Amino acid sequence: MPSGRIGTFFQTRVFHADPESRRQETETFQKISREAIGETFLEEDPTVAEWFRSLLPTSAGAGQYVQNLFPSAQWMRRYNLHWLLGDSIAGITVGLVVVPQAMAYALLARLSPAYGLYTTFTGACLYWIFGTSKDIVIGTTAVGSLLVGGVVSSVEAERPGVYPPEQVAHALSFLAGLILLFLGFFRLGWLIEFIPYIPISAFVTSASITIMSTQVPAALGITGINTRESPYIVIINTLKSLPRTQLDAAIGITSIILLFLIKDVCARMEIRQPTRKRMWSLISSLRLTFTVLLYTFISWLVHRNTPEEASKFRIVGTIEKGFSHAGIPKLDTELFGLVAPQLPAIVIILIVEHIAIAKSFGRICGYTVIPSQEILAQGAANILSPFVGGYVCTGSFGASAVLSKAGVRTPLAGLFSAMVLILALYALTAVFYYIPHAALAGLIIHATYNLITPPKNLYKYWQLSPIELGIWVVGVVLALFTDLETSIYAGIALSFAVLLIRMARTPGKFPGLAKVTRIMRNGQCEVVSSSASSFTGETETEQVHAREVFVPLQDKGSHNPNVKIDPPYPGVFIYRFNENFNYINQAYHMDYLLSYILAHTRRTQADDGVPLKDRLWVDAPPSAKQITHSESMPLLRAIVLDFSAVNVLDVTSIQGLVDLRNTLDRYAAPAVVEWHFAGVQNRWTRRALAFAGFGYPATKNPDALGNWVPVYTVATSLAGATEDDERDRDTRKLQLQAQDEESRRSTSTAPLKASGKQVAGEETPPAVEVTEEKRKMEPLYGVDRPFFHVDLVDAVDAAIRDARKRDELRGMHAEEHRDTGVSP
């Protein structure tokens, strides 16, 4: 059996389709289009096989994928001495900044300061190979370290004494790296777009408050406070313990004051001395290093002859030299199971924090950041980090800002930062012994204070979206009274709920028509082209300074209430989807459409002929009063759906359209309701709508095609024309554009037609014309789907033309019936 017969057999016997009927309809449409424009074009539907073929990787695509994995290979060949000088200066500067920062943040992770140096070293060494940002610095962060410390505490609570803190941190970093590598290799960076900004902002603010609450006791020298409890409990306990303040408070409080003082003085001097702005910015960036060195020197003066156990205030103590904790980390499945519940929140924060920083500097400096590649760089750094003794790392905003201001040229600057870290680990461990804990706590408080969302941003949230400000408040409150994981999950869940509610309960609009023109400052009307003159029946001369625009009918909106908005035509309804149309909101849209149309039209036949015994209990027959009231209403003629905001349709939404069409067909019987669609661009959507019977009139109804006058949107085709002909066409087009521009500047209000007719007082410049044999008018879209229109103007124009024609025929029939004395 031939393949064509096999396909027909399956369509008719298995799927119960009628391909013969559809073929006859197509032939009818082709015949009509040949009669109208002399040309025809059938739309080719996408196939499932075509979709599967599009998923198969090509050899060129595979090569591009491998090349994109290593962006450094593209710019390393162009590396030069100027870049080397800029990278070395910036890298060394950042290295001096991140050394005290990394040591301080490691305390948040409940690890010794050296682990922070290990972690930052890993990010500095690896990022340049995979990263796409020159300004990002991967290392320890306050938020990431706090989350690690939380995991360490929870594991210790479940398995006391079984797993040391560094082993828990290594397991967490390794698992996070595996997830990040998976997301990066499979280019799933777009998934981060599902995480909205507001929950992250609330989380960062909450984390900052939590971090400061845990560091205030250390800055004051207060011991015996469980900083792993909810922040509000830690704050209360700290206030109760103020009488137990130690000498550490002198260092902690003065270090915080000193850090803020240096920052403010440098910021003022940058404004007063703009020529030395870079110098003052560099001094401000090194304030952390200067403060730590200053108090380390003071601590050395106090404790140089004092044993560690007799110290006047808490100091860091002995730090092992070099990478003494490097090696294969101890990992087991039980430990993985213990850290897994808190892993999703940590991965989300690591990604969001890093991508936000990278994109921010990308926008400022004018380069493009590839999220999937950044996640891949994060994954590589986090997997390697446990092997050198580190823990989870991500982009650091403070260090990245320093790197950018220091004049970095390429991502290779990280290697110079790594050299500074190696120097610190091998040559400065004796100095690190005297660092006061209170100074590190002051450094952490100063660094995290800037992460709190300022009041001006909250006011901005209120102006932009009050409901999202509410989500922000809920996230912060939950974090203060419960924990950070609950805050981030609740914030994301609430954001998704708001999104779904907006999608499900946002109604569309029924646009009407308003006549507008454009008036320049000198009071003269600007010539505008009108593509909607058929709506009102006015001539082109009357429309040359006016055009019709679509404005919502049923609400105030933002337009002037004194402007009159008219319905497009009696019985013709335009419906614009404000959100995408899918299974979530199809029932709401369909109910809204149906109720509005029934309220503004009347049945074609007042008595639908259904006896009372056959009616549903909810379907009451129309009363005499209702019939009298509805006589002034128009008959339902056509529905125009604006699909500009709609991309892909699902089965539920298409079935909703089919059910609504069936309901309205019964309501308008024996007439047929036309369905016009504007702006349907997706090929699969066009295919689905056509399969459901939309896009063309019903050929089984003689009235549908016998009196149908289709209008086609055509475009000029130069099939068979030579290159000289096409060049002449372009020349003619430029001349006409120059004519049109000249007429706009002219004070004359004489109409200028785009066809090239001569303007009053001017001569049309000579142009070479393409012969009519070579110029052809081709339909822009398939003639077998004439109710799929290129835009809303064409769709409304076609619907009104057909409705007006049917009303004229109805009037003619009514007049014939009156002449013959027969009731219509």
Q: In what side-by-side order are the strands of the sheet with 572-576?
A: 572-576, 638-642, 674-678, 788-789
CATH number at residue 601: 3.30.750.24
Pair (434, 563) in one structural domain: no
Q: Is residue 24 part of a domain?
A: no
Is residue 528 located within the same domain as residue 448?
A: no
Cβ-based neighbours of 455, under 8 Å, separated by 6 or more: none
Backbone dihedral angles phi then psi of residue 647, each to the nearest 5 degrees: -110, -80
Domain annotation covers residue 549: yes
Q: Which of 7-11, 224-228, 254-258 is modeled with the greatest confidence?
A: 254-258
Residue 770 has what pLDDT? 43
Separation between Cα atoms, residue 666 and residue 660, nearest integer Å: 10
Question: Please, which contacts does 445-450 make with residues 24 or more away whose CB atoms are closer than 8 Å?
Answer: 445/211, 445/212, 445/215, 445/216, 445/219, 445/256, 446/255, 446/256, 446/259, 446/260, 446/288, 447/101, 447/104, 447/142, 447/288, 447/398, 448/142, 448/207, 448/208, 448/211, 448/212, 449/208, 449/212, 450/398
CA distances from 361 to 135, 341, 366, 406, 410 (A): 7, 33, 8, 13, 13
Q: Determine the structural domain holding residue 122 and report its residue range.
A: 72-160+167-501
pLDDT of the residue at 739: 59
C-beta separation of 176 from 392 below 8 A: yes
- Model confidence over 347-370: pLDDT tens digits? 999 999 899 899 988 988 899 999
- The answer to whether residues 516 and 472 belong to one domain is no
Task: Decide if pLDDT at 750 tops 90.
Answer: no
Q: Do 530 and 408 lie in a common domain? A: no
* Average pLDDT value over all residues in the chain: 84
Q: Taking each helix axis as running N to C, give the angle between helix 113-130 and helix 81-108, from 0 to 180 degrees, rounded to the nearest 10.
A: 140
Integer-rounded Cα Rg, in Å, for the chain is 36
**Per-residue DSSP letter, 276:** G
DSSP per residue over 117-140, as a string?
A: HHHHHHHHHHHHHH---SS--EE-
Q: Cα dist. 51→46, 48, 60, 683, 689 in Å?
A: 8, 5, 19, 11, 18
Per-residue buried b or exposed e for 663-692, using 16+ beta carbons within 10 Å of the residue's own CB: ebeebbeebbbbbbbbbbeeeebbbbbbee
Residue 129: inside a domain, yes or no?
Answer: yes
CA angle 671, 672, 674 (to 5 degrees): 140
φ/ψ bin of 701: left (φ > 0), alpha (ψ from -120 to 50), beta (otherwise): beta
**Residue 636: pLDDT over 70:** yes
Give the Cα-Cα-Cα angle 230, 235, 238 (nearest 5 degrees). 125
In whole angstroms, give the CA distance from residue 663 to residue 589.
Answer: 15
Q: Are residues 330 and 242 in the same domain?
A: yes
Distances (CA, A) of 760 to 737, 745, 749, 751: 17, 14, 10, 9
What's residue 740's pLDDT? 57
Average pLDDT value for residue range 707-716: 77
Average pLDDT of span 70-74:
93
Shared-domain flag, residues 497 and 362: yes
List CB contacts of 194: < 8 A, sequence separation 6 or more.
none
Judge whether 268 lies within some domain: yes
**Chosen domain end from 501, 523, 547:** 501
Distance CA 739, CA 762 (A): 10
Inform me whether the pLDDT recorded for 545 exceeds 80: no
88: CB partners within 8 A, 6+ apart: 413, 416
Phi, psi of 602 (to 5 degrees): -130, 160
Q: Which residue has the tokens 């000198």?
A: 522
235 and 274 fall within a common domain:
yes
What element of type H or E holds 558? none
CA-wise closest residue to 118 among 314, 329, 346: 329
pTM (whole model) above 0.85: no
**Among 164-173, 542-551, 689-698, which stretch is predicted with the lowest mean pLDDT?**
542-551
Distance from C-alpha of 758 to C-alpha of 315, rounded to nearest angstrom: 91
Please compute the mean of the pLDDT values over residues 129-154 and round it to a whole number. Answer: 94
Specify whether the CB–CB gap between 704 and 697 falls below 8 A: yes
Which residues lie across from 676 on neighbouring strands?
A: 640
638-642 and 572-576 strand pairing: parallel
Among residues 448, 469, 501, the one where a domain terminates is: 501
Count of beta carbons in the 10 Å neighbourhood of residue 477: 15
Mean pLDDT along residues 455-483:
94
Residue written as token pair 């505490």: 153
User: Domains in the chain: how many in total?
Assistant: 2
Instruction: Quick: pLDDT tens for 97-126.
Output: 899 999 999 999 999 999 999 999 999 999
Higher pLDDT, 619 or 466: 466
716 pLDDT above the threshold of 80: no
Quick one: 287 and 311 in the same domain?
A: yes
Contact between 215 and 233 under an 8 Å Cβ cutoff? The reply is no
Do 471 and 527 sit in the same domain of this protein?
no
CB within 8 A of 213, min separation 6: which ones?
A: 227, 231, 234, 235, 238
Separation of alpha carbons 554 and 628, rounded Å: 24
Query: Residue 389, by phi and psi: left (phi above 0), alpha (psi -120 to 50) or beta?
Result: left
Whether residues 436 and 389 fall in one domain: yes
Chain centre distance of CA 155: 37
**Structural domain ending residue among the three candidates 474, 501, 528:** 501
Residue 95 to residue 254: CA distance in whole angstroms: 25
**Cβ atoms of 205 and 455 closer than 8 Å:** no
Q: Are residues 323 and 276 in the same domain?
A: yes
Nearest-10 Cα torsion for 644, 648, 652, 657: 30
Whether the ω angle into residue 710 lies within 30 degrees of 0, i.e. cis, is no
583 with 698, same domain? Answer: yes
Q: What are the φ and ψ backbone dihedral angles of 508, each rounded to 5 degrees? A: -80, -175
Residue 37 lies inside a defined structural domain of this protein: no
Q: Does residue 505 sit in helix, strand or coil?
A: helix
pLDDT band at residue 706, thresholds of 50, 70 and 90? low
Does an H or E element contain 255, and which?
Answer: helix 248-272
How would residue 51 be classed by pLDDT, with cut points 50, 70 and 90? Answer: confident
Alpha helices by DSSP H, listed for 221-247, are 231-240
- Write down the pLDDT at residue 5: 53
Query: For residue 670, what is the DSSP state?
Result: T
Count of beta carbons in the 10 Å neighbourhood of residue 37 = 17
The answer to whether position 8 is within a domain reads no
Q: Is residue 52 part of a domain?
A: no
* Cβ 448 vs Cβ 204: under 8 Å: no
Each residue of 611-625: b (16+ CB within 10 Å) or e?
A: eeeeeeeeeeeeeee
449 part of a folded domain: yes
Contact of 140 with 79, CB cutoff 8 Å? no
- Average pLDDT on 633-637 reads 92
- Backbone CA torsion sign across 587, 590, 594, 596: positive
Is the model's pLDDT at 17 over the cut of 90? no
